Structure 1
Amino acid sequence: MTTAPHAGSATPADPALLSDESPALNRMLAIVNRLAAAEFTGRRTGTPGGHAAAAWLAQQLRQAGATVTLDPFPVRGSIRELHATPHLRYTDTTRTHALIHRRDFCEHLATTDLPQPVTGPITRPEDDPRGAWILLDDGYDLTLAQAAAKHGALGLLVSRGTDADGWMPKMIAGPATGPLPVLAVHTDWHHRMRASRGQITASAPLRTVDAEAVNVYATFATVGRSGPKVLLTAHYDGVGDDPEQRFPAAADNASGVAAVIETARQLIADHTAFTLTVALLDAEEAGAHGSAHHAPQVPEDTIVINLDGAAALHEAAAVEAAGPAHALLAALDRAGRDTGVPLRGQAMPSDNRRYAAAGLAAVGIGMGMPGYQTPAETPDRVQPATLLAATRLLTATVKHHVAGHESSQR
């Protein structure tokens, strides 16, 4: 197992600096560290590690005073599983280069399963494709792939960049499987291959699997039942470990889970009159299946606040509102002003969209994901100040919404 960089635990709170917020922060950091631990193997949907994470989170919510329900559901035909480490060796005019998986190349999600390496020359689309790997300049094209497969091509090579840390982020859901193996090659290597051609030996051991996902729902006792209904959500699943590489998934979305649980703790402690539920969702990385499964079950007068990433707040928190969310957005705006958290309208393609599509007032909030879906997404990169900012913002938003609802009922 390769050791990831930045592999330390999240930094504990400094009581001298944080005083009253130290217990809350330490609880959140403990959740981040535990969810990112090796025992949960990256928390991919349907894996033993994913199921163990759900059971552990249910225990945490019960300890916080909630009534907890586990809701299993199937996910069919949308999860890609890497069942071995891909290999790519490139021979140019002088030597053979062993490229590094997720640094120099990675599997493309449209690839067909290629468990064992195959060897062939590099060609271009205009050349004879028989027994060759075709180097594409304009990205993956299904029509071209079908034609190349018909004429005996071995596979396709497309270009891809890396993040700031030099990683190619991992994904597990995407386009339908095509007729040929497909590998994404770092832009620099792609340029070299285009200039000197040469030969490729490569494998792409990626298959599509079905899975049994599990959502975790928590209902908290509140003072009075005539108040508004509030649902806090965050997905707990990750993309899962590679066969030889850890993916801790600390920012996306252990950080969001930790902040949502702490927000619920603080809201219940205030004894505000409203109904509070929490949904920790599975299969977001596989296409937001957990929220799609849950949304039809939610009462239509519920407001939904989804937190996806609470690890590195820089200039502003990203906010996307949809559905009948005008009152909720106004509450969020006031909360941002009160807590000093700047807000910026921005696309948030997460579970909030499934709730909005079901006709619910929904807002998605994101506060950064350093190391997003790479081995560098470790707990020490989750900023304590951002966890606290997320909890303050969510707590204040709910309080403003409840207060606005009470005013409208007078």
Structure 2
Amino acid sequence: MTAPSESAAHLDAILPLVSAERMACTVTALASAEFTGRRVGTAGGAAARAWLVAHLADLGAMVDTDDFPVRAVPELYAAPTVVWGEGATSTRLTFGREVAVHCASADTSEVRRGPLGVADSGDPTGRWLVVPTGMHLSDAARAASGAAGLLVSRAVDADGWQYTLLAGPDPGPLPILTLDASTHRAALAAATGAGWWSANTPLHRRDVTGANIHARFPAAEPGGIEVLLTAHYDGVGDHPGLRQPGASDNASGVAVVLEAARILTAARPAGLGLAVALLDAEEVGALGSAHHSQQLHVGDVRPLIINVDGAGLLDQAAAVEAGGPAHALLALLDQAGRHTGLPLAAGPVASDNRRYAAVGLAAVGVGAGMAGYHSPADTPDRVDPHTLDAIARLVVATVRLAASAPATDSSST
């Protein structure tokens, strides 16, 4: 066991090796058009996986991949055509901003035209029904037999984009479109007059194969500490004619984990075991970590787990969520935060860390913000290099401090 003062000296020697520039290059690469948003089961996701496997192998790790099934991933196969108006006037809506397809929508490739109506008011037959704000979608659907489709309000981000979701309720029998608040209000007003709507919802669902990436560095000595660094590499994927780079979510987290692994492999005590898991299918319900956590649950190795999801834009403090028997790991993280000067705050990190904690493993999720969540605005230029640097230093310091912790500080305690 290393003395505390010696550990601090080792930290001060290796922390300057963290390179924000190198991480920014990783983010730019993963967010490139070549990887098409990295949605699970796509060619872009597979290309990103191959790139990451090569990167980890270059660090000296033993790398393999592990496939698992992913059911019913929603995928737009064309941009929707949406036009509406009152009487003879018409307006075509901009996909991704004024209108998008709800993930619970039925697949309708052909355009449906019909008068506007209000959900749960009057005869719905053949009408596009505007769902009033505050009405639950399921309630609107129950009263919409024979309708052409449903129109619901959705908030847009500061850049005016609607966000993309892949995880959600099962598809219903009707087309469902989401509208920005201004368009929704106008459509609701027009529904009491001569308003009409014309649209399709070209959204199918595919059964695909996801694949986690596992990298193992030389094992710890018997009785040593095992640490697993995780981040999801998948994104929500591009839409037809609409790039969604996934820079902050979660190329930034992957960049942090790769950088931490790079630093730690060159300055790791013999008593510390280090592994990396880059996870697929987080955006469809954290299925990659669900698959991996079950493997760990029935296995012999019970590592301390640090998951990074979103290291794009730090706002005062990094969010930390602890789960499982994580008291010792949380103490190490707190010590690392104080050493590196990064404030930490308890906050929700709704990501893969929860899957590991659910099977009784010590897991913490770390998040440091993101701009352009699930939209075309999630671009590399909006990932803050200082945030990448701060989170990578935190992870490196936490793992390095684990080497001086008692060997009982593991998921089994």
**TM-score, normalised to structure 2's length?**
0.90
Q: How does 1:310-325 map to 2 (within 5 A)?
A: 310-325=311-326
Are residue 280 (structure 1) and residue 286 (structure 2) matched? no
Aligned equivalent of 2:114 = 120
- For 1:398 and 1:33, how far apart are their aligned partners in 2? 26
Match of 1:41 in 2: 36
Matches within 5 A, 1:189-338: 189-197=183-191, 198-221=195-218, 224-272=221-269, 273-298=271-296, 299=300, 301-338=302-339
168-177 or 93-102: bigger deviation: 93-102
The alignment partner of 2:19 has SS state of helix
CA distance in 1 between partners of 2:66 and 2:220 (Å): 26
1:148 match: 144
Q: Secondary structure at the match of 1:76?
A: strand
- Output the amino acid matched with 1:105: V
1:144 Cα deviation after fit: 3.5
Tell me how large the CA RMSD over aligned residues is.
Answer: 1.9
The size of the alignment, in residue pairs, is 388
Q: Corresponding residue for 1:81?
A: 75
Secondary structure of residue in 2 paired with 1:210: strand
- Cα distance change, pair 408–343 in 1 and its aligned pair in 2 (3 A): closer
C-alpha distance in 2, partners of 1:69/1:364? 24
Q: In the alignment, which residue of structure 1 is the partner of 2:6?
A: none
1:135 aligns with 2:130: yes
> Which AA in structure 1 matches 2:394?
L
How many Å apart are 1:73 and its aligned residue?
1.1
Q: Does 1:99 align with 2:100?
A: no
Cα distance in 1 for partners of 2:18, 2:350 equals 32
- Matched residue, 1:158: 152
Shift of 1:352: 0.3
1:110 matched to 2:107: no
Please name the residue that 1:17 is paired with: none
Q: Deviations over 1:186-224 (max 9, x none)?
A: 111111112222000011111111111111000012563
Corresponding residue SS for 2:125: coil
Amino acid of the structure 2 residue aligned with 1:339: T
Q: 1:341-352 alignment to 2 at 5 Å?
A: 341-352=342-353
Deviation of 1:315 after TM superposition, in Å, equals 1.4
The structural deviation recorded for 1:81 is 0.6
1:60 aligned residue: 55
The answer to whether the 8 Å contact 2:63/2:214 transfers is yes
SS of equivalent residue, structure 2 residue 307: strand
8 Å CA contact 1:225, 1:274 repeated in 2:
no
Instruction: Report the CA distance between 1:93 and its aligned residue.
Output: 4.9
Q: Is 1:355 matched up with 2:349?
A: no
What amino acid does structure 2 have at the position aligned with 1:72? Answer: D
CA distance in 2, matches of 1:52, 1:226: 38
Residues 15-41 of structure 1, C-alpha deviation per residue, up to 9 Å, x if partnerless?
xxxxx9587223212211111111111
Partners of 1:227 and 1:363 in 2: CA distance: 20
Which stretch has the larger CA shift, 300-309 or 343-352?
300-309
CA distance in 1, matches of 2:155, 2:91: 19
Which 5+ residue runs of structure 1 have no aligned equivalent? 1-19
Contact 2:18 2:263 in 1 (8 A): no
The 1:148–1:408 alpha-carbon spacing in structure 2 relative to 1, beyond 3 Å, is closer
CA distance in 2, matches of 1:243, 1:260: 31
What is the CA distance between 1:146 and its match in structure 2? 3.7
CA contact (8 A) 1:300 1:360 kept: no
**Contact kept? 2:18, 2:392, Cα under 8 Å:** no
Q: Distance in 2 between matches of 1:284 and 1:71?
A: 15
TM-fit CA distance, 1:123? 0.7
CA gap of 1:72–1:223, structure 2 versus 1, over 3 A, is closer
Are the aligned partners of 1:226 and 1:274 in contact in 2 as well (CA < 8 Å)? no
| Letter of the 1:327 counterpart | A
Q: In the alignment, which of 140, 165, 169 is matched to residue 163 of structure 2?
A: 169
Contact 1:121 1:132 in 2 (8 A): yes
1:398 aligned to 2:396?
Answer: no
Secondary structure at the counterpart of residue 262 of structure 2: helix
Q: Deviations over 1:369-408 (max 9, x none)?
A: 1111111111111111111101100011112223122597
SS at match of 1:373: coil
- Specify which of 7, 12, 19 is matched with residue 24 of structure 1: 19
Q: Is the 8 A contact 1:146 1:179 kept in 2?
A: no
- Percent identity reads 49
